[in-house]
Chains A and B, each alone.
Chain A
Amino acid sequence: EAGVTQFPSHSVIEKGQTVTLRCDPISGHDNLYWYRRVMGKEIKFLLHFVKESKQDESGMPNNRFLAERTGGTYSTLKVQPAELEDSGVYFCASSRSGVPYEQYFGPGTRLTVT
């Protein structure tokens, strides 16, 4: 089966601009997660979708971040307006529904805000 894919692989934008990251989970995986690693710190959870619903968005840093998963397939994470501290690597993962199944990770999107 195809793995989790993310687009773009790298994005360089100026402070104040908008960027949209996309994640395509493994087909049939109801659970989709967003994580990020910024400034050499530990990877942090951002949010968790179950199908199209936000199950847990406790890790979203502020209202400049908007995640959607229309139709319960792919997800987008929009940062508007981007700030310097948003630079980092954004990872997406997906897993099957039910018991805590293993999460499969995408390659990540490296975001650089200048």
Chain B
Amino acid sequence: KNEVEQSPQNLTAQEGEFITINCSYSVGISALHWLQQHPGGGIVSLFMLSSGKKKHGRLIATINIQEKHSSLHITASHPRDSAVYICAVRMDSNYQLIWGAGTKLIIKP
């Protein structure tokens, strides 16, 4: 079992829908990252969280340290949001990131 689990693996939605992607982890962490990868593209960091909630434009990320769970929300989704969204955690003990498998999001016009 991977130390970082994401759900769902795949998500297809209509433009305008509210999107939620979940991430659960089983290790002690110092920070959690949400990242975005477009097809054929590199990785872009969206958020780094250690507590609470962050918002950037239509993206919102929350983390519950006690429950070891984080969510990424996209409001008013748009086809350009289509990408793979990846959760990665930084362990307490070192700097390396442990990665989830990613959620492939497709937003249809």
A→B interface (CB under 8 Å) = 31, 33, 35, 41-45, 48, 55-56, 58-59, 91, 93, 100, 102-108
- Give bound CA distance, A105 to B33, whole Å: 12
Contact with A along B40-72 (1 / 0, CB 8 A): 011111001000000000000000000000000
Which chain A residues lie closer than 8 Å to B96 at the CB level?
33, 45, 48, 56, 58-59
Which among B42, B86, B88 is the interface contact of A107 at CB below 8 angstroms? B42
B→A interface (CB under 8 Å) = 2, 4, 30-31, 33, 35, 41-45, 48, 86, 88, 90, 94-102
Q: Which one of A103, A105, A106 has the greatest number of beta carbons of chain B within 10 Å?
A: A103
With A42-B2, A56-B95 known to touch, is A106 a contact of B101 (CB < 8 Å)? no
Which among B30, B45, B95 is the interface contact of A33 at CB below 8 angstroms? B95
Q: CB-nearest residue of chain A relative to B93?
A: A56
The list of the 9 closest CB pairs from A to B, nearest first, reads: A107-B42, A45-B96, A105-B43, A43-B99, A102-B48, A42-B99, A100-B31, A42-B101, A108-B42
- Give bound CA distance, A91 to B86, whole Å: 14
Which chain A residues lie closer than 8 Å to B99 at the CB level?
35, 42-45
CB atoms of B97 and A45 under 8 A apart: yes
Could you write out 23 A-B pairs with CB less than 8 Å apart? A31-B95, A33-B96, A35-B97, A42-B99, A42-B101, A42-B102, A43-B97, A44-B99, A45-B96, A45-B97, A45-B98, A48-B94, A48-B95, A56-B94, A56-B96, A59-B96, A93-B43, A102-B33, A102-B45, A104-B45, A105-B43, A105-B45, A108-B42
CB atoms of B35 and A105 under 8 A apart: yes
